[in-house]
Homo-oligomer: A and B are copies of this chain.
């Protein structure tokens, strides 16, 4: 009876918490979107369709995988991990997993967030869907009302060999770390990285999270001694979700400090910033009576994010990377698990002459 938003679980967690003693569990989610920028043609897209598959080998051992089909004709395995419930509130988990940072990277099913598109902070600053192969532990400290996660992950790839020991830079100013995701696909590992998150769920309707990610980027063996082929990353995140009757709110702040970007930009010719930063706040209200199965949620979200929050060396800040977005719209939940969305995005950047188009979006989302 509890709907998935108030439970605040995601697809993988739902599979893991199944009552079924043994065997296969199947689910999925999908998003079909229509983006209409001002003064341009619209784009209609089956943005993603995801198959969730779980298997319970025993009381203690489960496998979970997400097979994602993007833009109709691309495929990615997005999660594939074994969870071993070693003791009460203590699990060891290994495989291709989501990095716990912010809200949407772990909770990206379309019925769990407002807006046709995910928040931009969760695309440009947190490179959602951010997943790598790793291993670690997670569980709960029930007395303290805390959930914990701590993993060793493979990291971003910042550069690769270009010809005879030349260096090709993969990361760039406009989207920060996003292009460096290796996604578990024949990924290069030169040094491990650490990711952890603490969630507090001690107050009814409230969930608070604090995340950290620490490590160096990866590169090819032939060039890893070249100064600037890799950079260091410290990313910190705070997030909050709150539900009270028909009202809900959420917010998130992400700060990432990158070291050695000066050397990186010199040898690659790229324009990677030394600080990435973004935050958003969102308020929402269900316009229908709470007893209804259907919900019609009106929401507004304010976002600011900048991949040149700071720059190192001679690099000059690019104002087009300092972005502000206001999104306002409706989420109409026809049934639990099915949502029709419509919103308008006022988009701006820090340049004197704004070059970002506002746009109208519609979407259909399902999660089962």
Contact = CB atoms under 8 A, between A and B. Distances in A.
A67 B48 CA distance: 12
Nearest to A57: B335
Interface stretch (A69-77, A231-239, A263-271): A69-77
A78 to B, nearest CB: 8
A133 B35 CA distance: 13
Interface stretch (A5-13, A115-123, A182-190): A182-190
Chain A contact patch, size range: 35 or more
A352 interface: no
Contact of A42 (B24, B69, B189): B189
Contacts of A60: 335
Contacts of A189: 34, 41-44
Contact of A368 (B34, B57, B218): B57
A82 B221 contact: no
Contacts of A179: none
Given A46-B184, A82-B366, A338-B57, A24 B26 contact: yes
A49 interface: yes
Contacts of A321: none
A69 B75 contact: yes
Interface in A205-235: 218, 220-221, 224
Nearest to A45: B186
B46 A77 contact: yes
Contacts of A218: 41
A95 interface: yes
Interface in A42-96: 42-46, 49, 51, 53, 55, 57-58, 60-61, 63, 65, 67, 69, 71-77, 80, 82, 84, 94-96
A189 B37 CA distance: 11
A337 interface: yes
A147 interface: no
A41 B224 contact: yes
A41 B190 contact: yes
Given A55-B337, A57-B337, A74-B75, 13 more contacts: A28-B53, A30-B63, A32-B94, A42-B189, A43-B189, A44-B154, A44-B187, A44-B189, A46-B96, A57-B335, A58-B293, A61-B334, A73-B74
16 contacts: A24-B368, A30-B65, A32-B96, A32-B133, A41-B218, A46-B185, A49-B80, A55-B368, A58-B336, A60-B335, A72-B77, A72-B185, A73-B77, A73-B185, A74-B75, A84-B334
